[in-house]
Structure 1
Amino acid sequence: MSSVVAKPTKWYHWFEPGTDRREKILIWKLDFFILTYSMAAYFLKYLDQTNISNTYVSGMKKDLGFTSNELSWFNTYYNIGLCIGSIPAVLLAGYFRPRIYLPTLDLLWSLCVLFIYLAKNAQTIFALRFLIGLFESACNPGTHYMIGCWYKKREIMRRGNFFVLAGIIGQATSSYIQSGLQNTMNGKRGLAAWQWMFIIDALIGAPVIIYGYLFLPDYPHNTSAFYLNEWERNRAKERLVEDGRISTQITFSLKNIKPVVFSWQLWAFCIGYCFWTLTAASYMLQFFELYLKSLGRYSISYINNFPTILSGVNLVTMLSTGFICDLTGQRGLTCVAVGLVLLAAFIMTAKGPIDNIPLRKAGYIMSGVYGCYTPILTGWCNITCGKNHILRAVTIPAMIVVGQAVVTPFQQHLFPSGEAPQYGHTNGFYYCIGFTCALIVWTGAVIPGLEKWSASREAKEEKSVEEVEFPDKEFESI
């Protein structure tokens, strides 16, 4: 008597079960061309975003005669540009072809980064940081929007995570580049190491820009990508229809505003993202560098390099949570688990004695789990807004705009660089503890509850429509 042994089911998979070979090839092509560009662009964005704090502690402050709080103002002007540009940038990304639009913005912000090396005062850097934020405003939400236009609901989160992962790598790489330049290029051709940093960053952007112009596929409804055949182009549109969504060009009309404003997604995700930004976790790498510098016992290379451990924690957390969310659908529970670790990190940073260096280092490093909230919330938003592309195009950047708008004065007043590293007079880290608690509750209970309520309401509406269209359905068997 023979027995049949059931083949164990994999707990992970890249393709959804039942995907045929031709569709797998299509997905692989999309993964390669969309993700390689988006990861390179996001790497470049974070490289350019992080270099300001690395150069500040590596000679810029001294060479330009800064006093104490210029670094906080550099962040503030960047955030103002980001807030002003985000929503218009994504709406324009849905109107224009991203193959032209996104790389052009990459070019503009790379030029602004380059010009910082010529700056002689803080005011010039304020203006350039504003323009960098303005031109970078489409990178994060615009790419998430593009990913949502090509992938199914259960494919989005993993792709979004890989995209954001590149930012972590860029954040860490910036530190290593500055460290290397400090040792090899300081004083070359009459330029300080921090000036070379901005030149190198701008040069790194050139191949990314060229790649985007050549290989981005635009959207399913208007793609002319040479690497997609006719069947693949049609199948890309069919996949969205099967998922209850469509790909179409964004058109601007006042009648589209009301359903967006009164949607639960807009308000729920904006509030959730606000709670995340108000934890100030995204600034922890900068706080970590300032803490190490305040101790007066470490070299500039150590101050630039050691905090990149935080980025390593971020990378591991990002990879694991992306797969967990896609494969289990438990986005709320994942947010709660990560939030508890972040809460412990802030308690250690706030309450740990200033002279207990190992404990405070551990707190900073543990805070590296923060990064997964951005891809989880944007992916979650992509999924729940999938049937309304206008709602999706507005809600994703609105999250980032509102989040940056509230965190800009928050970090400016509660984390002024002159108060580093303890921020005792402002009690900054204690505020972070409170907002982390709010984040845990909102993402673990409120958003999942609203999602279930919305699904139940849609099911009832569909049932009532069927009853109106087919009133005699119950008598069909008679």
Structure 2
Amino acid sequence: MGVLTRAKKNKVVAVIISVFDWYPSHYPIEERKLLRKLDLAILIYGCLSFFCRFLGQQNVTNAYVSGMKEDLNAYGNELNYYVVAYNTAYVFGQIPLMTLQTKAKIAPFLLPSLQISWAIIAFCQSQVTKNWHLYLLRALTGFLEASSFGGTHLILGSWFKNEELFKRAGVWFMGNSLGSTFSGYFQVATYRGLNGVFGYTGWQWLFIVQGIITLPLAFVGFGVWPGLPTSPRRWYLTVEEHALAVKRIPTVEKEGITWQTFKYTLSRPMWWICVPCYIFLCQSFYWTGYMQLWLKSTGKSVELINILPTFIDLLKALSSWLGTTLAGCLSLRGIWTFQASLTFFSVIVLSIWTVPDALKYMAYYFGGFSGMASPILYSWLNSTLKENYGERGLIISSMMTMGFAMQIWVPLFTFPTVEAPRFPHGYPACVAFLFTMWAILVFGSWFMKRWKLKNPDLEMRLALGLSDDGETSETPREATKGQEEGLSKNTAATVQ
């Protein structure tokens, strides 16, 4: 212990230790035991669920370049339209499904139930014979996946303290990139080993095996997914551990999203910071999945088209973990600027386009550093508004709604498939999107730190339905039973 204490006096060593020290020695034994159980339940299932979702998303692109394009006669902008169908339904599903996710009794069972539907749809996608079949199935998938991303972020922010959250969010987000990575290698394996088996092509087997992987994992979720701390206690937590989990992160609001949530959320600055930032984030990194189209235009084999882009996803996985962890340990704005700088280089190179292929490879691979942007943004939101389920849930779902609402139509102008792989309008537009995204979060994090210092007890007044001057508002919210009695005890704990 003495050696470790002395080592921590060195700033570099202290950061390295912090990255891997998930269960600090200064925590009581009971709290460390609780954290281990939460990690096993939330992170393992959360990562596997996220893996399945993004495996399915990447499978559509991989299938498109591996024979589905020719089988469905999709030689126009059909790939764009698959994305539009998904994103349109994804937008409409955000707030309804997130509202369910903020309800304590429903939260433990919502994600596993939705995952069963993902598996069924994957099987159906293997049988499509016309493009409109896939449009319909992608739309249905988009609606049923709407709360998986934001809802899991909500769960992470509800169980883990700020100093614990960034590390775990980064690890969880790796499921995105690893799902995409696995899909590339998986497509090669199915193309070689299963193409023609039982009369199904390689791209059809890709969807079939996706369903086979996704379905049993859904039933794992019914057993371990905890929902919110205010949800009924799960079997693996003792009464004392569940009480400790609730006590660790006191909340002033337990009803979830209600009509009143819209009023007070829109009257505060976080919605107006996070939603525009995420809109520009979605547009800034849309191009990172298009390396395959460039490789296809160069005449590369199916194997190389599917394998070479996986290095982008591996870098996304690594950067999402390490970058998000360092944002929690060091400087959020510093790490945010680092990732923005590398991806800024990428879009400038691709905007020029007439550069050596080696530089194009570097630009596409540097796009992997975009992997840390989303988990940093959502972790910052969760840590800033930790006391309020409803406000966090509404902002997260609003980010997804507005971000993907823009993604429905903007790429039709910036990245139409018929302009692949050059995209003369898309890459220059991303230069502007990226700079704006960076500026919003840098300013927003500076502003919110000062805003919260000036309004340390605002959460308490909101929970009781009070106006800023302490008088009862015209449309007060009822505090949950016993909440008023505990406010004086929790005030100091909730102001972090």
The two structures have a TM-score, normalised by structure 2, of: 0.87
Q: How much has 1:450 moved relative to structure 2?
A: 2.0
Give deviations 1:26-47, integer Å, cap 9, x for gaps.
0000001111111000000000
Let me know the Cα RMSD of the aligned residues: 2.1
SS in 1 for 2:233: coil
Matched with 1:473 is none
Matched with 1:199 is 208
What one-letter code is carried by the residue in structure 1 that aligns with 2:268? S
SS in 2 for 1:57: helix
Q: How much has 1:8 moved relative to structure 2?
A: 2.1
Alignment of 1:271-286 (within 5 A): 271-279=276-284, 281-285=285-289
Matched with 1:136 is 145
Cα separation, 2, equivalents of 1:406 and 1:452: 29
What one-letter code is carried by the residue in structure 1 that aligns with 2:245? A
SS in 2 for 1:423: coil
Gaps of 5+ in 1: 467-478
Gaps of 5+ in 2: 9-13, 461-467, 471-496
Alignment of 1:316-331 (within 5 A): 316-328=318-330, 330-331=331-332
Q: Percent identity?
A: 25
8 Å contact 2:249–2:387 — kept in the other structure?
A: no
SS in 2 for 1:311: helix
Structure 1 residue 453 and structure 2 residue 450: aligned? yes
Matched with 2:317 is 315
Give deviations 1:235-293, integer Å, cap 9, x for gaps.
1011012xxx35734263x33321111121111000111111111x24412x1000000
Structure 1 residue 250 and structure 2 residue 249: aligned? no
What one-letter code is carried by the residue in structure 2 that aligns with 1:457? K
What one-letter code is carried by the residue in structure 2 that aligns with 1:93? Q
SS in 2 for 1:118: coil
Cα separation, 2, equivalents of 1:184 and 1:57: 17
Alignment of 1:13-412 (within 5 A): 13-16=21-24, 18-95=26-103, 96-241=105-250, 245=251, 248-250=254-256, 252=258, 254-279=259-284, 281-285=285-289, 287-296=290-299, 298-328=300-330, 330-353=331-354, 356-412=356-412
9-18 or 315-324: bigger deviation: 9-18
Cα separation, 2, equivalents of 1:447 and 1:456: 14
- After superposition, the Cα gap between the structure-2 partners of 1:396 and 1:17, relative to the gap in structure 1 and judged at 3 Å, is farther
8 Å contact 1:275–1:439 — kept in the other structure?
A: yes
8 Å contact 1:246–1:387 — kept in the other structure?
A: yes
Matched with 1:470 is none
Cα separation, 1, equivalents of 2:253 and 2:26: 23
Structure 1 residue 8 and structure 2 residue 7: aligned? yes
Q: How many residues align?
A: 451
Q: How much has 1:365 moved relative to structure 2?
A: 0.6
What one-letter code is carried by the residue in structure 1 that aligns with 2:193? T
8 Å contact 2:257–2:394 — kept in the other structure?
A: no
Q: How much has 1:7 moved relative to structure 2?
A: 1.8
Give deviations 1:175-219, integer Å, cap 9, x for gaps.
111111111111111111111111010110022101001111232
- After superposition, the Cα gap between the structure-2 partners of 1:5 and 1:54, relative to the gap in structure 1 and judged at 3 Å, is closer
8 Å contact 2:173–2:321 — kept in the other structure?
A: no
- After superposition, the Cα gap between the structure-2 partners of 1:59 and 1:320, relative to the gap in structure 1 and judged at 3 Å, is same
Give deviations 1:75-110, integer Å, cap 9, x for gaps.
111111111111211110111433321111111122
8 Å contact 1:240–1:247 — kept in the other structure?
A: no
What one-letter code is carried by the residue in structure 2 that aligns with 1:359? L
The two structures have a TM-score, normalised by structure 1, of: 0.90
8 Å contact 2:280–2:433 — kept in the other structure?
A: yes
Q: How much has 1:162 moved relative to structure 2?
A: 1.3
What one-letter code is carried by the residue in structure 2 that aligns with 1:315? A
What one-letter code is carried by the residue in structure 1 that aligns with 2:455? E
Give deviations 1:149-173, integer Å, cap 9, x for gaps.
1111221111111111111000111
SS in 2 for 1:7: helix
Q: How much has 1:387 moved relative to structure 2?
A: 2.3
What one-letter code is carried by the residue in structure 2 that aligns with 1:415? F
Q: How much has 1:138 moved relative to structure 2?
A: 1.0
2:428 is aligned, of 407, 412, 430, to: 430
What one-letter code is carried by the residue in structure 1 that aligns with 2:288? M
- After superposition, the Cα gap between the structure-2 partners of 1:28 and 1:282, relative to the gap in structure 1 and judged at 3 Å, is farther
Matched with 1:476 is none
Cα separation, 2, equivalents of 1:121 and 1:460: 57
Give deviations 1:444-478, integer Å, cap 9, x for gaps.
2x11222123123214979x999xxxxxxxxxxxx
